[in-house]
Amino acid sequence: MTGQLLTAAFGAWARGRVGKVERLGRDPVEVQRKTLSRLLQAAAETSFGKEHAFRRITRHSGFASAVPVRRYAQFVPWIDRQLSGEADVCWPGRPRYFAKTSGTTAGDKSIPVTEEMVGQNRRAGRDILAFHLRNTPGSGILGGRQLFLGGSTLLEPLPTGAFRGDLSGVMAREMPFYLRPGILPSPGVVAIAGWEKKLEAIAKESLSQDLRLIAGMPSWSLLLFEAWKRLSGGATVGELFPRLELFVHGGVRYEPYQAPAEAAVGRGVRRLEVYPASEAFIAVQDAAPADGLLLGLDYGTFYEFIPAAEAGSDSPRRLGIGDVSLGETYSIVLSNVAGLWAYEIGDLVRFVSITPPRLVVAGRTGHFSNCCGENLIVEEVEAGATTAAAACRLPLGEFTVAPVYPDAVDSRPRLEWVVELPDDEPFLEEPLLIAFDRTLRARNHDYDTKRTHDAGMLQPVLTVVPSGTFHAWLRSRGKLGGQNKVPRLMNDRSIVDSVLGAVRPGGHPLTDAPGR
């Protein structure tokens, strides 16, 4: 099928799909009520459904009473049974795939990927294109190539006949036949071992192609942009790919990468943010970036929201979509066609619209700073770093923030901001820190209270590390590339000390005064 025919056929479908999504958004409570009912009915005869009496549950309150909130460690016994090949454990049948996911602070996880879960991800992918076509009259996005900068597509065969690997590998295997000819990187490049060699091969393979869409995490996409610039003798992405229409990104907040990404592209290219997770494809940006991401109401997921302050408590309030409030921060809980039930994934979200439901990702439940009651979250430190760099006209690299705890010299804690800045870019440290601190104070009342007259916290300190430090640190942990990312904020010094230990002779963390 030619690009023009494919675009025309898909465009007709897209108009109907966008209309349906808009109708769903007018009554999210009813849509979610029906979703929960269908999920309970589908899984009623599974081991999990029988143990939790799904047949008796008729409403959300009954579900919340019967099924406690669980995180991965508490769900492992159910997942292990599925990994061993047992059928009808949490969802009818046996999962064909397991998405292997890992973080910098936790071990590997294996998330079931059922046939229905594959369908959920396909639907979200089609919605990305549908919203773009609605927002871009005359689009030719399907007339050229699409580049997906994901994780490894190599899947590990399990004794049961299932496969385990990155979700991007699963979805590459399940890619519709009519889209495969236009997808980059090619299978041969994808199979290259080692992220850095693979990235170089991707850059060379795609350099002469007619790219219309680029999708990937902003951090790794920037490395690809740099490789293109080097290989082309300095051309921008926009110059290399004049018909490039769309940059799809997710996984991390875009704002810290916005300035370098726009400079690398060099011209206006529409961008669209997505909120995918191994557990579910949660939301897609359907309008302007400032409007947030539209919750996937008909993706086969029932959503619950726990007030952030109650996350991890024994009996948290579990709110449905009709109970949330604008501006409040919630931990998101999923029950879906993957056979995950009241599963807390660890993400914090904040609603910017209720009808239709649109949200932004505010951070991770385990990624916060509260060494003396300041209650900072990732969203706030990212805003501080972005604002400070812009105010001082500095390109912002990777960074992380952690507390410096009281010691014998000073009984007051402070934050340490460890950031990559170009070695040849002069700057004054004090204005940078003042801008960072002011932004945090403006966005967080508790932090402002602690910082007033230095009563509870001292001004943050800055440690600048060479460009490439964080990527080298990820490489040393076997987490370079794909969907791996640098934690922006922790309540302890495990990440900071590990990163700083890598840039000091002997591998010891910095012990002298932070700063440049």
Residues sharing a CB contact under 8 Å with residue 413, sequence separation 6 or more, in sequence order: 371, 372, 403, 404, 405, 406, 457, 458
- How far apart, in whole angstroms, are the C-alpha atoms of residue 438 and residue 384? 8
For the beta carbon of residue 186, count every other beta carbon within 10 angstroms.
Answer: 12
What's the one-letter identity of residue 418? V
Q: Which of these ranges, 220-229, 320-329, 361-370, 467-476, has the smallest mean pLDDT?
A: 361-370
As a whole number, the mean pLDDT across the chain is 88
Phi-psi region of 395 (alpha: psi -120 to 50; beta: other; left: phi over 0): beta
Q: What is the average pLDDT across 346-363?
A: 92
Q: Which of these ranges, 2-16, 228-242, 352-366, has the smallest mean pLDDT?
A: 2-16
C-alpha separations of 35 from 52, 58, 122, 299 in Å:
18, 12, 18, 9
**Is 90 exceeded by the pLDDT of residue 223?**
no
Residues forming beta bridges with residue 319, ordered by sequence position: 305
**Is 80 exceeded by the pLDDT of residue 151?**
no
pLDDT value, residue 377 = 84
Q: Which of these ranges, 70-74, 181-185, 424-428, 456-460, has the smallest mean pLDDT?
A: 424-428
**Is 50 exceeded by the pLDDT of residue 314?**
yes
The pLDDT confidence band at residue 3, using thresholds 50, 70 and 90, is low
**Is 60 exceeded by the pLDDT of residue 506?**
no
Predicted confidence (pLDDT) per residue in 24-52, tens digit: 999 999 999 999 999 999 999 999 999 99
Structure token pair of residue 413: 């804690």
The pLDDT confidence band at residue 504, using thresholds 50, 70 and 90, is low
- DSSP codes, 170-235: HHHHT--TTTGGGEES-HHHHT-SSHHHHHHHHHHHHTTS-EEEEEE-HHHHHHHHHHHHHHHTS-
Phi-psi region of 233 (alpha: psi -120 to 50; beta: other; left: phi over 0): left
Q: What is the average pLDDT across 186-196?
A: 82
Structure token pair of residue 356: 């239709």
pTM exceeds 0.95 for this model: no
Domain ranges of the chain: 1-365, 368-507
pLDDT value, residue 512 = 31
SS (HEC) of 14-71 = HHHHHHHHHHHHCCHHHHHHHHHHHHHHHCCCCHHHHHCCHHHCCCHHHHHHHCCCEC
**Is 70 exceeded by the pLDDT of residue 4?**
no
The pLDDT confidence band at residue 509, using thresholds 50, 70 and 90, is very low
Architecture, CATH, for domain 1-365:
3-Layer(aba) Sandwich (3.40)
C-alpha triplet 57, 275, 388: angle, nearest 5°: 130
**Is 80 exceeded by the pLDDT of residue 164?**
yes
Q: Identify the residue with better confidence: 287 or 319.
A: 319
Q: Which range, 68-77, 359-368, 389-398, 472-481, is most confident?
A: 68-77
Predicted confidence (pLDDT) per residue in 112-131, tens digit: 999 999 999 999 999 999 99
pLDDT value, residue 408 = 59
Say if residues 272 and 246 touch (Cβ distance below 8 Å).
yes
pLDDT value, residue 264 = 92
User: In 3D, which of 294, 14, 217, 215 has the Cα closest to residue 132?
Assistant: 14
Structure token pair of residue 369: 């700073």
User: In 3D, which of 52, 57, 43 has the Cα closest to residue 88?
Assistant: 43
pLDDT above 70: percentage of residues in the chain: 94
Q: Which of these ranges, 36-45, 83-92, 444-453, has the smallest mean pLDDT?
A: 444-453
Hey, what CATH class is 368-507 in? alpha beta
The pLDDT confidence band at residue 374, using thresholds 50, 70 and 90, is confident
C-alpha triplet 400, 402, 404: angle, nearest 5°: 140
Residues forming beta bridges with residue 306, ordered by sequence position: 331
Burial (CB < 10 A; 0-12, 13-18, 19+), residue 84, is exposed
Say if residues 500 and 465 touch (Cβ distance below 8 Å).
yes
Q: Which of these ranges, 70-79, 93-102, 498-507, has the smallest mean pLDDT?
A: 498-507
**Is 70 exceeded by the pLDDT of residue 104?**
no
Q: Identify the residue with better confidence: 456 or 202.
A: 202
Predicted confidence (pLDDT) per residue in 246-297, tens digit: 999 988 778 877 888 899 999 999 999 999 988 999 999 998 877 899 999 9
- How far apart, in whole angstroms, are the C-alpha atoms of residue 98 and residue 492? 31
**Is 70 exceeded by the pLDDT of residue 106?**
no
- How far apart, in whole angstroms, are the C-alpha atoms of residue 385 and residue 172? 35
pLDDT value, residue 7 = 72
Helices (H), 84-164: 115-135
